C-alpha cells in the first residue's frame, strides 16, 4: 500500500490518478465533512461544500506543493469553500446564528443531547472567525501552526481568538446553568 506522499506523486505524474485520488478522498472525507459541518448550517450544505472541495482539489492537485501537508491544503480549500457558501447565502455575518442553530437542533445527523445542544448554542453565538478557530482547535484537534497555515493568520492572533471563544463559551454555559 502506498503512503500519501507516494499517492500524490503518482497523481501528479499521471499514474493512477483516479484510484489515487479516491484513496485520498476516503482518507479525509469524514474529517473534511465534520470540519465543514462546523461552519455551515445544514447537512445538505456540508455535502455540497465537501463535493466542491474535493472537485477543486482534484482539479488543482498538480499544483499542490509536496512540502506542505496535504490535509492542511485540503482544509484550506474546505474552509474557503465553506465561507464562499456562507457569503453567497448572506450567512457569513453571524446574524443568522439562531437559524443555523435551529437547523442543527433539528438535524438527524447531530446528537440531541442537552449538553451538546448547549455547546452548539454557545458556539453559534461566536463571531465567525472565533467559531472557525474554535472548531478547528477543539473538534479537529489541529495545532495552531496548522490552523495558521490554513487560515493564513498569525499563531498569536489564533491563540487570542481561541482564548476569547473559550471564555465566551464558558460564560454562555454558566449562564445556561443558572
Domains, the chain: 1-92 (1.10.1740.10), 95-178 (1.10.10.10)
pTM, entire model: 0.76
pLDDT of residue 104: 47
> What pLDDT, in 10s, does the model give residues 118-138?
888 888 889 988 999 999 999
Specify whether the CB–CB gap between 66 and 175 falls below 8 A. Answer: no
Cα atoms in the 13 Å half-sphere on the side-chain side of 28: 24
Four-residue CA torsion sign, 82, 86, 88, 89 = positive
- The CA distances from residue 4 to 7, 8, 74, 127, 150, in Å, are 5, 6, 13, 35, 19
Q: Which pLDDT tens digit goes with each residue over 111-120?
A: 456 777 788 8
R_g of the chain computed on alpha carbons: 17
Amino acid at each position: 500500500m502506498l503512503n500519501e506522499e507516494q499517492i500524490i506523486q503518482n497523481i501528479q505524474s499521471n499514474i493512477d490518478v483516479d484510484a489515487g485520488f479516491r484513496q485520498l478522498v476516503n482518507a479525509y472525507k469524514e474529517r473534511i465533512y465534520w470540519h465543514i459541518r462546523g461552519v455551515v448550517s445544514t447537512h445538505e450544505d456540508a455535502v455540497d461544500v465537501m463535493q466542491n472541495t474535493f472537485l477543486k482539489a482534484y482539479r488543482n492537485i498538480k499544483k499542490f506543493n509536496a512540502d506542505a501537508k496535504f490535509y492542511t491544503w485540503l482544509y484550506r480549500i474546505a474552509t474557503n469553500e465553506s465561507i464562499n457558501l456562507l457569503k453567497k447565502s448572506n450567512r457569513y455575518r453571524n446574524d443568522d446564528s439562531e437559524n443555523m442553530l435551529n437547523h442543527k437542533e433539528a438535524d438527524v445527523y447531530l446528537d440531541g443531547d442537552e449538553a451538546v445542544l448547549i455547546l452548539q448554542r454557545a458556539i453559534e453565538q461566536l463571531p465567525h472567525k472565533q467559531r472557525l478557530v474554535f472548531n478547528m482547535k477543539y473538534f479537529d484537534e489541529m495545532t495552531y501552526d496548522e490552523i495558521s497555515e490554513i487560515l493564513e493568520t498569525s499563531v498569536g492572533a489564533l491563540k487570542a481568538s481561541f482564548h476569547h471563544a473559550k471564555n465566551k463559551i464558558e460564560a454562555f454555559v454558566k449562564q445556561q446553568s443558572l
